[in-house]
Copies of this chain bind each other. A is one copy, B any other.
């Protein structure tokens, strides 16, 4: 009986996305084919418990079952995840018990300064050696910018930093602050190419050690340097502000604190760029991602960003949505990760490999078909009237 029900569910899914054909295999060996095109994936559900997990606990159930190998996917994992963005599938909501657990989890991970440190270290202190395996040479862990001349991820990350440097109108001698500077890629490029000085901050001890070493090796230290500090601890006066892929970790209840800090750090007329994942509509972060990948994270709506800026005289001059750039970036990361799969498995185990694979692929699918966006928001602190009238200089 249960197989007949399941079959009807898959038939409905298949009707809603007819250009994706696939097969399913149940734990007793039963197989079904859906769609008449070339098979894009085989979904194996290896136990009745796994089936219940997937059906009743949404992405959290699927993600956990996938990590444990209780469900498996051969072929295109993203093609499967694409079904999650169909209305009928995304309506498979969580039950009350899971919701209660997630709420307790969220409260536990509120972004107080102490908690922020733990949340960040949870993810970013997996080891520089791990990230070096699959990130680009610049160790950049955020959306790249695939300009027409970019063929490799290295080039696209360089182009991303340069795109932001242009939006910031960087000039030699500018004082730049980089909130959430990661492994120091932005600071290194801005100092080397544009002659700025400045400070970055990160809460990850591994990133801090790496970035400081790197800036010293490049002869850029202490003109640019990195503090192991919370953004709320950074002091100083800066001409330019940048934050790339960090705002996701601020947490909704601290948005006001964050933008108060932006206004405090920037001189009057100073220029900033906020680069962050976001979304169109208010929605909680995916429960599996919130639990396993980014505890404490919250994806802002564009409205939340510009509302908070506007209330503080931070004048938005330009918003660019780089949604598909992140999909391309994640595809590059996925390919690189898979090329180093055996090293990761040896170091961190099979469940970790499966977790990371599901993370990269589901995130990528979210940019392609779901509600994930990337916003680069350029702004000035108060008004600034001496900048180029058009954005043509960004593309010259």
- Please report A residues at the B interface, Cβ cutoff 8 Å: 145-148, 279-281, 301-304, 306-307, 309-311, 313-321, 323-325, 328, 368-369, 373, 383, 385, 389-392, 394-396
Contacts and interface: CB of A to CB of B under 8 A. Distances in A.
B313 A147 contact: no
A280 B316 contact: yes
Nearest to A279: B310
Q: State the copy count for this chain.
A: 2
Nearest to A146: B389
Cβ-closest 10 pairs across A and B = A280-B310, A319-B319, A303-B307, A395-B395, A392-B395, A302-B306, A317-B321, A303-B303, A303-B306, A281-B310
Contacts of A392: 147-148, 395
Contacts of A369: 383
Contact of A318 (B281, B301, B319, B325): B319
A163 to B, nearest CB: 9
Most chain B beta carbons < 10 A, residue from A146, A318, A396? A318
Contact of A147 (B148, B317, B325, B390): B390
24 contacts: A145-B390, A147-B392, A279-B310, A280-B306, A280-B311, A280-B314, A281-B311, A301-B310, A302-B310, A302-B316, A303-B310, A315-B321, A316-B319, A316-B321, A317-B321, A318-B319, A318-B320, A323-B383, A324-B385, A328-B389, A369-B383, A391-B391, A391-B394, A395-B396
A280 B303 contact: no
Given A145-B390, A318-B319, A324-B385, 15 more contacts: A146-B390, A147-B392, A148-B392, A279-B310, A280-B306, A280-B309, A280-B316, A301-B307, A302-B316, A303-B306, A303-B310, A318-B321, A369-B383, A391-B391, A391-B394
Nearest to A377: B319
A391 B304 CA distance: 24
Nearest to A392: B395
A306 to B, nearest CB: 5
Nearest to A378: B321
Nearest to A319: B319
A84 B352 CA distance: 61
A145 B311 CA distance: 27
Contact of A368 (B319, B324, B385, B389): B385
A323 B252 CA distance: 30
